[in-house]
Every structure is written in C-alpha cells, then in structure tokens.
Amino acid sequence: MLRVILIRLAVFVPTLLATSLVLFITVNVVPGSAARAALGIDATPQAIARFEAEQGLDRPLHVQYLDWLWGALRGDFGTSFQNHLPVGRELLARLPVTLELAALAFIIANLIALPFGALAAYHHQRRVDTGMSFLATVMGSVPNFWLATLLILILSLKLRVLPAGGYVALREDPARNLSLMLMPAISLGVVSSALLFRIMRAKMIEVLSSDYIRTALAKGAATGVVLWRHALRNGLITFLTVGAVEFGWLFGGVVIIEDIFLLPGVGQLVLVGIINRDYPVLLASALTVTVVVLTANMLVDLLAALLDPRHVHVRALR
C-alpha cells in the first residue's frame, strides 16, 4: 500500500514543478510586459530598465524562475506591484474561502451525479435513461455564470430568500456562511454534475454488463443486493479514477463565480491581479488554483487506488 502512495507522490511532485514552470514562463514570456504593466504604457525605457533591475527581471529567465521557486517553496511569493504587500499572506487568507467553495460544489456535483448516473445505467436503453442523459446534456450546456445570474435574480431579488453576495467566515457564523455559499456552490456544482453523471453512467453500464453481476444473480441475489454489494462498489472505484479529471472544470469556474458573488477567495485574486496588471499576484494565485486542482486529482486517484485491491491504476495518458 505504501508503494502505491509513494508512486503517486513521485509523479505528482514533478507535475507540480512543471506546472509552476509553465505558468511562470507564460506570465513572463513577453519581455518588458511586467514592467509596462506596473508602470503604465507610457513608461520611459529608462523607467522600465530601472524597474526591471529592481525587480530582478533583467536576469535570465531560468535564474528568475529558480529564484522565484525557491521563494515559493518557503511561502514567499514576492510582493504585489500594486500595494507592495507580500502576496503569500494574501493567498493564505483567501485560500479557505476557495477551498470551502470547491468542497461544497464538489459535494453537490457528486450528490447529483452518482445516484442519477447509477439509475440511468440501470435503466440503460430505456426511456428513463434517454431522458436523463438528455437532461444531463441540457444542464451541462448552461453557462455557470448565467446560472449564477439567474439564481441571484430569482432567489435574491425576487424571492429574497438568500443574500446575493459577500462572505462571512464559517467559524464566525456558520448559518450565514452557508447561506452565502449556497448559490455559488450550486452554480458550480450543478453544471459540473452533468459531466460527472455521464462518467458515472458509463462506468456503471460497464459494470452492470460484467460477468460477475450475472454470477451474483445466479446465486439468487435480489437486484438491490446485486446493485449495492457488487455493482456500486466497482462502479464507484472506476468512477473515482475518471471523475478526477472534472476538477479542472469545477475549480476553474471558481474565478468567475467568486467574482459574481463577491467571495474573497483565491479566484478573485486572479482577477485582481489581471485588472491591476499585478504579475506576482496573478502568477501566485493562478498557481494556487492549479495546485489545488492537481492535489485534488491526485488525492482522488490515490483513494481509488487504495480502494481497489488490484492496485493497477496507471494514470498515464488518461
């Protein structure tokens, strides 16, 4: 079992590093852009040169990267161009918000996708299945920020049931926190649930047509028993390996949703970084979101591997 965990970590760490490298290069690829962004378009070449010297932006790219990386590993993500405050601290303060949002969205998405996916697979090729699959396609085509807007329109403005934006820490006021998080989580979760539904349905169809299901029936098991003891267990495990892929879409939407609902999370920080042309902030927050995604993927994959006695999950080239 330890071996399974270690193998995954061994693959995970280089992936994180590579990710940080790609983001770093992307942000810094256009020479002078950072300086121009901070100082304005009309900055004189001398001002740019001075800025770059100060910030160490005139050094070769790989030196910059290693320097940045070394700092990042210690929690030092540089200082914001805008307000000259350490980025790391800001990130830390905002991280719990994003994590809570992501977790709630994830729970909602799976709560919908798993049972309905299993149900659709069970009624495969019958109208229930066709209907549900069509519904899933429809739900999955809704832009999550439109759903957010509609939810605000109906629940906040018309019915006045939920507040439209803002944030209160969970520790301070759990009830209010959840009432503020509900619509954002639904906006993110419902749309993602559509794809998760498809995956679960596909896996369950595979499982239900397996020989061992027939064996269980031949032993005299009732449908419920067969589904629960034999089908779902296998279906869930195979689902976990694939379902992880969806985190990218789920978490990526965090940026827009936090913007709409005025949630002070890391996603919002990305936008702040863009609007203020604050490259250290942009880089650090984008990286954080990506790392959260990758970590979630890795953990789910690990969970699947630990649950599956065959330990044969190879995540090469999914």
Partner 1 sequence: MSIHAAAGPRSPGERLAQIPWKRYRLLVIGGALVGIVVLAAAFADVISPSSPYEIDVTNRLQPPSRTHWLGTDEFGRDVLSRAVHAARISVKVAVVAVSVGLTGGTLIGITAGYFGGVVDLVLMRSMELLFSFPAILLAIVLMAVLGTSVLNAMVAIGIIFIPGFSRLARAATQEVLRQQYIEAAHTIGMSDRRILLGEILPNVITPLLVEAMAAFAYAVLLESSLSFLGLGAQPPEPSWGNMLNTGRGFMDQAPWLGVVPGLAMFIAVLGFNLLGDGLRDFLDPHLRDGA
Partner 2 sequence: MSTAESDRRSGQRAVLEIDHLTVELAGGRRAARVVDDVSLAVFPREIVGLIGESGSGKTMTALSILRLLPRAASIAGGEIRLGGASLTSMSEAELRRIRGRRIAMIPQNPMSAMNPVLRIGAQVGEPYVLHRGVRWTDAVAQAVRLLRDVHLPLPEERAVEYPHQFSGGMQQRAMTAMAIALEPQLLIADEPTTALDVTIQAQVLRLLLEIRDRHGTATLLITHDLGVIAEMCDWVYVMYAGRILEQGSVERIFARPSHPYTQALMRATPTVDATDADLASIPGSIPSPFELPAGCRFADRCPSRFERCEREPLLLDVEASHSARCWLLEDGRE
Other Cβ atoms closer than 10 A to 29: 9
- Binding partner 1 by CB under 8 A: which of 87, 98, 183, 203? 203
Per partner kind, with CB cut-offs from 5 to 8 A, the member of partner 1, partner 2, none near residue 39 is none
Q: Which of residues 275-294 bind partner 1 (CB under 8 A)?
A: 277, 282, 286, 289-290, 293-294
Q: Which of residues 42-101 bind partner 1 (CB under 8 A)?
A: none
Exposed / middle / buried, residue 41 (Cβ in 10 Å: 0-12, 13-18, 19+): exposed
Q: Please report, as a single letter, which amino acid is at residue 275.
A: I
Give yes or no for a contact between 238 and 295, defined as CB atoms under 8 angstroms apart.
Answer: no
| 30 binds partner 2 per the rule CB under 8 A | no
- Binding partner 1 by CB under 8 A: which of 5, 22, 169, 222? 22
- Binding partner 2 by CB under 8 A: which of 45, 60, 224, 309? 309
Per partner kind, with CB cut-offs from 5 to 8 A, the member of partner 1, partner 2, none near residue 15 is partner 1
Other Cβ atoms closer than 10 A to 287: 22
Q: What are phi and psi of 86, to 5 degrees?
A: -65, 130
Q: Residue 58 and residue 54: Cα distance in Å, rounded?
A: 9
Q: Residue 274 and residue 285: Cα distance in Å, rounded?
A: 11
Q: Residue 90 and residue 77: Cα distance in Å, rounded?
A: 10
Segment interacting with partner 2, rule: CB under 8 A, options 145-153, 179-187, 207-215, 248-256: 207-215
Q: Which of residues 123-182 bind partner 1 (CB under 8 A)?
A: 124, 137-138, 140-143, 145-146, 149-150, 152-153, 157
SS3 99: helix
Site map 235..264 versus partner 1, x via CB under 8 A:
-------x----xxx-xxx-xx--xx----
Per partner kind, with CB cut-offs from 5 to 8 A, the member of partner 1, partner 2, none near residue 210 is partner 2
Query: Which stretches of the chain bind partner 1, using CB under 8 A?
Result: 15, 18-19, 22-23, 26-27, 29-30, 33, 124, 137-138, 140-143, 145-146, 149-150, 152-153, 157, 198-199, 201-203, 205-206, 242, 247-249, 251-253, 255-256, 259-260, 270-271, 273-274, 277, 282, 286, 289-290, 293-294, 297, 317-318
Query: Which stretches of the chain bind partner 2, using CB under 8 A?
Result: 125, 210-212, 214-222, 225, 229-230, 233-234, 237, 307-310
